[in-house]
Amino acid sequence: MLSSKARMALFDIRDNGKYAQNFISGLSFEDFKEDRRTFYAVTRALEIISEAARRLPPELHARHPELPWRKITGVGNVFRHSYENVAEQQVWLTVREYLPSLLEAIDAEIDKLGDPP
């Protein structure tokens, strides 16, 4: 059974993943690159996802070995401490290419809970 902290982390990952996807919905990469507000909003959502992933227990990470947990939990440090190196293209690719598989795993874990937080 997951702790309440881990349960909340699952919902934080799910919610912020959906926010990030919705923020870029309908935008081309060029539009995203030019829209600083959206770039910052998506980057913040990914930062929260990274921090929340740190709050998940190792056994949950182990159930989803296909996910790059080390990268997921580490990227928040890049956003916080090396922000000048955060590239629009990498943020875009993260949301478009990599986030869906994380959200699929998180949804499966939430389904196992059976009830909202």
Residue range 11-41, pLDDT digits in tens: 999 999 999 999 999 999 999 999 999 999 9
Neighbours of 70 (CB within 10 A): 10
pTM of the model: 0.90
The answer to whether residue 78 scores a pLDDT higher than 90 is no
Percentage helix, strand, coil for the chain under 3-state DSSP, each rounded to 5: 80, 0, 20
DSSP string, 67-89: S-HHHHHHHHHHHHH-GGG--HH
The average pLDDT across 99-109 equals: 97
**Residue 60: both structure tokens together:** 């949950």
The answer to whether residue 114 scores a pLDDT higher than 90 is no
Neighbours of 93 (CB within 10 A): 13
24 vs 56: CA distance, rounded Å: 27
